[in-house]
Chains A and B, each alone.
Chain A
Amino acid sequence: MTNRGYTREEYLKLPEEEKYIKLSSSESERAEELFTKSLKVDLHTHIYGSVIFEWDEEKINLVHQMGVEGCFEAVPALSENFAESMDLLGKYLAITEKEPSLIPAYKAEDIRKAKKGGKQAVLFQLEPNTFGRNLDRVEIAYGHGIRMALLCFNTRNYIGDGIAERTNAGLSYLGLELVERMNKIGMLIDLSHSGIQTSLDAIEHSKDPCVFNHAGARALNPPCKRLRNDEELKAVAEKKGLIGISAIPNQLSFDKDQGIEDQLKHINYCVNLVGIDHVAIGLDNVFRDQVAGHRKSAASRNFKESGIQLTGDFLFGIEGPHEWKNIVRGLVSEGYSDEEIRKIIGGNAMKIIEKVIG
């Protein structure tokens, strides 16, 4: 399949100017300056992958191209086994320590420091959470470096229901305790992948703001359950939380030709609905053919129940995290002011990190 006439392989060979949003030369300069000077945070990344030996020069070049100063890397132990997630975190931390352009980060200040030193700060989050029934693991995980965690991942756990569950349960009693525990220690609560009632309960119960760090607006693509409805978006914003707009193919839209425009539509919709202070970026995309990966699991119940349809092959203009710059170009083309752009690409994220984590 193709997107605007290009297969993914052909797309990857295109020069930047053909992939990126067209701007006048003054707009282009403004975008370049904003991208270089502003502090940028991606609230949800998978830049490390699942195995340590994937880390090579080609990959680090892509990370450099991405150009953000701060990101939340997801630790994906799908078994929801705690020891496995801590092992994976250990590997990720080792990569981060050894790679001179990266620094492990634990608070907002570390991201500012990275900006000054021309580096990228990496914070870590659990996706899914692996606390099981043992809430002491919140502290254990925090001690090892985790600063954010999902409550549920698509299906049910001890805490609540995921978006692809057959039911729509609210938080359990243990869920209420988990929220309190995360509040107490200063761990950000991410409600992406959590079901509607569980999300609303968590927002209501949490004394700290919560985030949907990689999502979009359900109103723009109602069949996709990974996106959030207006009620959820308003609720999270009312408690000073954030919505990070993702760039995963076949979530923001089910058109054949999907791209950066779709991400911008979701940004615009959310800005209109809940205000410029509550929108951020959490791409969730990777440096490889994501749709090929999705096709392998397309027959799974989990996948089907998420309401995802595999209509597009890739996102034109935001195919991977290395095309982050194009978001800034897009925001310029949509007519956002410098101040508004700085909020979306990092300012809002920094504020919530400072408030909840420190």
Chain B
Amino acid sequence: MISREEYLKLPLKERFIKLDKVEEERAEELHEKLISIDMHSHILMDRYFIVDRIKNSGVCGWFEAIAGIAEDFQESMDTLGKFLTRVNKHPDFMPAFKAEDFRRAKKEGKMAVLFQLEPQTFGKNLDNVDIAYGHGIRMALLTFNTRTYAGDGCGERTNEGLSYFGIDLVERMNKVGMLIDLSHVGIQTTLDTIETSKDPVIANHVGARALHPQCKRLKTDEELKALVEKGGIAGVSAIPNQLSSDEEQGIETFLDHMDYMVNLIGINNVAIGLDNTFGDQVGFHREAAKTIFKLSYIGQGLNAPYMYGIENPEEFQNITRGLVKRGYSDQNIEKILSRNALSILERVVG
């Protein structure tokens, strides 16, 4: 693989999957016509908010993660406030609080942004669920790699289930209508949550553990099956070195995980949650590994410098091309791009 710097100098089309003329036209038409949603992204931070490139991605909206490693509630609400101002003030964007907002955005030629907490910052206070909802949060993770009051993360040294507080939290999120995200959540806590929740839940930026067993960020077959049994969905992510430990990885690796999940849990239960940014993610991981983000806990390496063909949000359109190339029907492509995501949003959030 060429270096990331060289890669980023290539014109977009050269980074993308090669298609014949008929496929090319079909992919472009589909991408133009369909609503595309990225269920997990980090685009609104100052350094990644590059409007032209975001528009280039062709998505009509995404779920923006409010990241606050300190898990401090006030801090997460401050960040949310800034992000809301950003999308409210910019003519090309709008905040989203329900499924309908994405459809409206498509019609108006805008991009809609729905907000989620990653990690959740509720601490021990259940009322924070209502407060966060009031300020605009519609989805939240239960745990982020390590332990919270609710449960164990996927990188924790133990694998305990939900605590009593965790059960209360699931019930409160059900009551308010906040979608529960189980990405980054440990196996037993994941299974307990699926069992406890009366609403369907999601794992919005994961992959299939069966394809890369060492990475704990990915979901086992048991978790994925349990998830869909209760009507939930899984989003496939495109973070380097989580889907594979190969030195060369990219859009094909991403599509392999998608194919595997579609086979395992069905076309109605798979979506996209890229989790990537416009920055050097592997560089960030290398630095963060020294302090807050212990890669060894989750079995993530640093082998590949980036994901070829899905390096950043701008390359989202390459997914549509890949799905065309792999023989998905128009209807199935629509399901993956947005129908499944909108359907669960409608059921749980409104």
Contact = CB atoms under 8 A, between A and B. Distances in A.
Interface of A: 79-80, 132-134, 155-159, 161, 165-176, 301, 305
A159 B160 CA distance: 13
A232 B160 CA distance: 21
Nearest to A133: B71
Contacts, number: 67
Given A155-B165, A166-B164, A172-B156, A79 B147 contact: no
Q: Is the interface of B mostly helix, strand, loop or mixed?
A: loop
Interface of B: 70-71, 123-125, 146-150, 152, 155-158, 160-167, 294, 297
Nearest to A158: B147
Nearest to B71: A133
A134 B70 contact: yes
A172 B161 contact: no
A172 B152 contact: yes
A80 to B, nearest CB: 5
A174 B147 contact: yes
A171 B146 CA distance: 11
Nearest to B158: A169
Q: Which secondary structure dominates where chain A touches chain B?
A: loop
Contact of B160 (A132, A133, A161, A174): A161
Contact of B158 (A79, A132, A166, A170): A170
A301 B149 contact: no
Name the residue in B123, B160, B165, B167 with the highest tally of chain A Cβ atoms < 10 Å from its Cβ.
B160
A175 B156 CA distance: 11
Given A79-B124, A132-B123, A165-B163, A156 B158 contact: no
A173 B297 contact: yes
Nearest to A160: B147
Could you say which of A132, A166, A174 has the most chain B C-beta atoms within 10 Å of its C-beta? A166
Nearest to A172: B147
A155 B150 CA distance: 10
Question: What are the 5 A-B residue pairs with the smallest beta carbon separation, nearest first?
Answer: A156-B163, A169-B160, A172-B147, A167-B160, A169-B158
Nearest to B160: A169
A172 B124 contact: no
Contacts of A305: 164
Contacts of A301: 164
Nearest to B164: A166
A115 B164 CA distance: 45
A167 B156 contact: no
A172 B163 contact: no
27 contacts: A79-B124, A79-B125, A80-B123, A80-B124, A132-B71, A132-B123, A134-B70, A156-B147, A156-B165, A156-B166, A157-B124, A158-B147, A158-B148, A159-B147, A165-B163, A166-B161, A166-B162, A166-B164, A167-B163, A169-B147, A172-B146, A172-B147, A172-B157, A173-B157, A174-B146, A174-B147, A175-B147
